[in-house]
Chains A and B, each alone.
Chain A
Amino acid sequence: MSAGLIGHEVRALLRARRTRLAVGLMLYAVLGAVFLLARPPAAVAAAATEWFHASDPAFALFLFVWTDLALNKLAAILGVVLAGGVVREDQARGLLPLLWAKPITPARYFLGKLAAAAIVFTMLLGGAALIGLLVFPWQVAGFRAGPFLVVSGVHLVGALFAVVLSATVAVLIPRRLTAMLTSLMILLMLVGSAFIGFYNPAWADYAALNPFYHAVWLLGHVDGLTLAHVARPLTIILVTHAIVVAVGVVAVRRIEA
């Protein structure tokens, strides 16, 4: 799919009512992080101190609240909202007979839709991080922009799994609502189990397969972040994304216009 076509898809998605709702959700994430940090649950504060061994436990707690409590669950919902109806939505509206008769393969059509959803998702999560960059220095004692951006960046790449999975499940399961609920259930399970490697270090290797784990894993290295700390999770995440996208590409070829 050409850049021009992806541009059309992005513009259409940005105009959609559900995207406006998503903007509201992301603003809520920024404000929610501030409120949560004002009176963090004791168990969360204790876990952050115990797990991350940071020189500044308050900053580690903030990053924990930001990535997990504020962003993770919203990212799961946002992925389903933006990509949970990919291709199936057009099929339900009777658009596929028109559009697939054009010089474009179903696979490229799917990839274009997925790319557009990923771009809008990035704009929303990236936008939330940028707003956070303006708000948090005034609200969070000892706020450091560098680690915040690195953790937010890795989290964003990991959270894109919500888009990738939702799009792939959408083309695997013909019924749109069933597909969306399935994606949401899987994503919320992944978000919920992102800390399994911290609860039990013996499971840390398995936890690495969870795209939502890696940003949290980085929190344990905030004091001395290196390129290697970022490269490893990004590699794992991108390989996971590629495998799931490939499944989607195979699945979309079986859909009849």
Chain B
Amino acid sequence: MTAAIELDALTKTYGELVAVDRISFTVPEGQIFGFMGHNGAGKTTTIRMLLGLTRPSGGGARVLGRDVVADSLAVRGLCGFLPASYGLPRDMSALDFLAYVGAMFGLPRAEATARGRALLELFDLGPVAGKALGGFSTGMAQKVGLAQALIGRPRVLFLDEPTSGLDPLGRHHFLTHIRDLARDQGVTVLFSTHILGDVESICEQVAVMHHGRLLACGALQALKAERRAATMDDLYLDLVQGAA
């Protein structure tokens, strides 16, 4: 299986603080890959480095064979990203915003609008496509967030804590969309979260980070068997407490 994402001793330091400490792993193409760790573990910094938004202090990484530093624009052209924390332009309509993001990918106006409309329909937001984003609920805004990540037809999708703040039904729908994307369109998903139940429900492989270090990486079932963990919670606690 070809690698969609390859990290090789990727490191980020801020002065004395080591935010990401020489982590290496590979994400196979077309998989939903769980990227776990508590808040501050280094997940977001890693994703930002993979998108060329933050310059690594050491090591390197490639996304779909492109170097994330030397070729960051090409990487971003192939990827979608939903950050953990973001805002939407309150005075813009959902459709206008998606068309605007589409233009950033170089899509002609008509195509960007059509694609934006199709995504809003997919996420049941068709009836409110022309409404200002300022009036959207958290769940609706998160769907627009996912839609903007998909507008450029990404081959790799980086989702950073995408289900935080969603109610159980919203979370279920969101995870279903992610699963469908990987299954139907072969999109590789790097799913960063600290909600272990989400990882267990949709990920085949996982990487666990703790204080900037990679504690474990591999097939979820194999890791559970290796650690004799019945659940994802047991596995995570075993890894983190073992590292403390």
Seen from chain A, the residues whose Cβ lies within 8 Å of a Cβ on chain B are: 2, 4-5, 7-8, 12, 15-16, 93-95, 97-105, 256-257
Contacts and interface: CB of A to CB of B under 8 A. Distances in A.
Contacts of A99: 101, 104
Nearest to A101: B81
B7 interface: no
B74 interface: yes
Interface string B214-240: 000000000000000000000000000
Contact of B105 (A15, A16, A102, A105): A102
A105 B104 CA distance: 10
Contact of A93 (B53, B87, B96, B145): B87
Given A95-B86, A98-B83, A100-B53, A4 B73 contact: no
A131 to B, nearest CB: 28
A101 B51 contact: yes
Nearest to A93: B87
Contacts, number: 77
B106 A97 contact: no
Nearest to B80: A101
**Chain A's interface: helix, strand, loop or mixed, by majority?**
loop
A250 to B, nearest CB: 16
25 contacts: A4-B106, A4-B109, A4-B112, A5-B104, A8-B100, A12-B89, A12-B92, A12-B100, A93-B87, A95-B86, A95-B88, A98-B81, A98-B86, A98-B101, A98-B148, A101-B53, A101-B79, A101-B81, A101-B83, A101-B158, A102-B76, A102-B104, A102-B105, A103-B76, A103-B77
Interface of B: 48, 51, 53-54, 73-74, 76-77, 79, 81, 83, 85-92, 96, 99-101, 103-109, 112, 145, 148, 152, 158
Contacts of A94: 85-87
Contact of B89 (A4, A95, A102): A95
Given A5-B104, A102-B105, 15 more contacts: A2-B103, A2-B106, A4-B112, A5-B103, A8-B100, A94-B86, A94-B87, A95-B88, A97-B85, A98-B145, A100-B53, A103-B73, A103-B104, A103-B105, A105-B73
Nearest to A4: B103
Contacts of B83: 97-98, 101
Contacts of B158: 101
B51 to A, nearest CB: 5
A7 B54 CA distance: 29
Given A94-B85, A97-B85, A97-B86, A102 B101 contact: yes
Nearest to A8: B100
A100 B104 CA distance: 10
Contacts of A7: 103, 109
A245 B29 CA distance: 42
Nearest to B107: A4
A4 B108 contact: yes
B135 to A, nearest CB: 15
Query: In the complex, which of the residues B85, B106, B145 has the most CB atoms of chain A within 10 Å of its own CB atom?
Result: B106
Given A4-B109, A5-B100, A257-B53, A102 B152 contact: yes
B103 A103 contact: no
A95 B73 contact: no
A253 B89 CA distance: 22
B104 A93 contact: no
Given A101-B76, A102-B152, A103-B77, A95 B87 contact: yes
A223 B112 CA distance: 52
Contacts of B100: 5, 8, 12
A102 B158 CA distance: 12
A93 B22 CA distance: 33
Contacts of A100: 53
A71 to B, nearest CB: 29
A98 B88 CA distance: 9
B65 to A, nearest CB: 16
A33 to B, nearest CB: 33
Nearest to B104: A102
Contacts of A256: 53-54
Contacts of B87: 93-95
Nearest to A9: B100
Contact of A104 (B85, B104, B112, B145): B104
Nearest to B75: A103
A95 B77 CA distance: 18
A94 to B, nearest CB: 3
Contacts of B112: 4
Contacts of B53: 97, 100-101, 256-257
A12 B106 CA distance: 18
